[in-house]
Chain A
Amino acid sequence: MSANLRIQAISGRAGPVPGEGTQRQPRLAKLIDTTTCIGCKACEVACLEWNDLPFRETVFQNTYQTMPETAWNYWNLIQFREHVQPDGTLQWLMRKDQCMHCADPGCLAACPADNAIVQYQNGIVDFQQDYCIGCQYCVTGCPFNIPKFNPQTKKMFKCTLCNDRVSQGLEPACIKACPTGCLHFGTKEDMSALAETRAAQLREHTSHTNAGVYDPQGVGGASVIYVLHDITNPEAYGGLPKNPRVPLSVRLWKGPLKWLGNLAMIGGLVGVTLHYLRFGPKQEGHK
């Protein structure tokens, strides 16, 4: 249903987005409740199955984790950490790591290739490999270390939030596979409400008095949100930044520096033209 795929933003686009704002659509979101994740990795397998990715070679690092980080053909990874709590007891933290589908995506801001990254009005941020030029600027733009480069094809890959399934009214493959119900999918509004309810339940009825919802406002909020046992320490969950932002360098690069550069280049061309009109060439033997 193309009606589910209204475009909101396009990378590297000179001018407005076609059809922007003609129809309003609810933002969708995936909710990951880390407190009920058992680390079974059914979501990892479902992701490979649906997206037709082969299992890749990995390295064993004395951990329950499948591989050190997500890869160009491994978009969904349970980050596993043994966390020592302040009272000395051990806690196993399991966090499903994948693209956050930011409302203000740094990858899209950094991308120079027209159409290579598209953000849909439902919140999904998707890479279009046909248009990707392999420059890897999105790596610099992303505060979550998500876009990964395939050195053979020179294209970038990441989680699509199962755009192909969602546009047909199905939930993402990882959601479908989860056996504990720690993964939920729906409108952002509903998922935020559900997450807040769960966090309040944890604070009131368990020892997790710091439980909270991780929905990073530095990137405008995300279409993937977490319930964490301890919202004050997201770093403990394996590379989840406390206050992620699109890097200032990317903002400067794509904003003021670009306009200063354009002015300088045009100014240079106008300058030499005016100089020639005013003074002309040096005449040999001119005294």
Chain B
Amino acid sequence: MICRYTLLERAIHWLAALTYAYVLLTGLAFYSPHLYWIAAVLGGAPTSRFWHPWVALVFLASLAWMWRAWRADMRITAIDRRWGKAVDHYIRNEDHNLPPVDRFNLGQKYFFWAMFFAGLVLLLSGAAMWFPEFMPAAARGAAILLHVAAALVTIGAFIIHVYMGTAVVRGGFTSIIRGEVSPAWAKLHHRLWYDRVTGK
């Protein structure tokens, strides 16, 4: 077996996942009257509103850690661009027609950067929404629109991330829990990374 994610990487990933799930659910409760019941399930709307920004700060801290740890792996290269041109084959599960990729493929990199930049927008707009009385009216108006728009970007990315990681790429979910993948899995999905870590 090959180590794909260290214990620390897995712990931070699941810290990010849990905190994201909380801010997503409480955020959805404030987003639509039809989803307001979620806040009741999570301990009431005032409680949800109190913890939403604090839990979001933990999420952003875990995001910052991932950026520090993975930003080299997440750099988009010429190989990724070739892979991106052939993404139709990836969608159709014709992976043998794809150029081999390193530790992460272009989809994973896009997911990371979508979360990273949307996270920055959510932080800035969220700060304005947290303390509206210190903000000019224009900043308050921009903040509510940017906060929803950035949140919707993360929701789209999150749906695809969870779907790919659990349903489509079998073995992916185990790798982020136990940290290990089989050589066959590594060769199939991340050939360049396999070659690099095994020294072949």
Interfacial residues of chain A within 269-287, with CB under 8 A of chain B in the complex: 269, 272, 275-276, 279-287
Would A264 and B148 be within 8 Å (CB), given that A113-B45, A282-B168 are in contact? Answer: no
Are B133 and A276 closer than 8 Å at their CB atoms?
Answer: no
Are B152 and A247 closer than 8 Å at their CB atoms?
Answer: no
B145 within 8 A of A: yes
Q: Which of A86-94, A131-139, A195-203, A218-226 lies at the interface?
A: A131-139
- Shortest A124–chain B CB gap in Å is 22
Are A140 and B49 closer than 8 Å at their CB atoms?
Answer: no
Number of B positions contacting A (CB below 8 A): 45
Residues of A near B137 (CB, < 8 A) are 140, 247
Number of A positions contacting B (CB below 8 A): 44
Q: Which of A31-39, A166-174, A254-262 lies at the interface?
A: A254-262
Query: 26 A-B pairs, CB-CB below 8 angstroms?
Result: A13-B33, A14-B32, A14-B36, A113-B45, A114-B36, A133-B30, A133-B45, A137-B129, A139-B132, A140-B129, A249-B142, A258-B148, A261-B152, A264-B152, A265-B155, A265-B159, A268-B156, A272-B167, A275-B91, A275-B168, A276-B167, A279-B168, A282-B188, A283-B170, A284-B184, A285-B188
B200 within 8 A of A: no
Are A287 and B96 closer than 8 Å at their CB atoms?
Answer: yes
Partner of A257, one of B34, B46, B142, B149: B149
At the interface, is chain B mostly helix, strand, loop or mixed? helix
Residues of B near A137 (CB, < 8 A) are 129, 144
The 7 closest A-B CB pairs, nearest first, are: A249-B141, A14-B33, A272-B163, A133-B45, A140-B140, A133-B49, A268-B159
Partner of B144, one of A13, A114, A249, A285: A249
Are A258 and B32 closer than 8 Å at their CB atoms?
Answer: yes
A242 within 8 A of B: no
Residues of A near B84 (CB, < 8 A) are none
